[in-house]
Amino acid sequence: MGKIKALELADLPQGSMKEVELEDETVLLIHEKQGVFAVCGMCTHAQVHLAGGWIEDGVTICCPQHGGKFDIATGKAVAFPAVTSLETYPVSIENDVIFVEIE
């Protein structure tokens, strides 16, 4: 599939997140101080949309249903009941456009 245009950078201000559908994948884009990250948008524990959750300390996404937590950079599950990591996707920004690489 390759690199896919996801969103204009202006539509994802720092400190925000937005769910997008790319090539039949639910992807959560997160813009924090460290950069823009793309992770699977569905919790690996409860299969709910992580876009309804919140970001803690700019480094973890928290599931809105049971509070499982994932590292936004690596996708690693860091708090129970989440034990399976999220898939992550490479992100690039070109001319203020966010691209996500989906295999």
Domains located in the chain, CATH noted:
2-102 (2.102.10.10)
pLDDT for 51 = 97
pLDDT for 103 = 86
Cβ count within 10 A of residue 89: 22
Taking CA atoms, 33 is separated from 36, 42, 67, in Å, by 8, 23, 23
Whether the pTM exceeds 0.75: the reply is yes
pLDDT for 11 = 98
Q: Is 76 exposed, middle or buried (0-12, 13-18, 19+ CB in 10 A)?
A: middle
Low-confidence ranges of the chain (pLDDT < 70): none
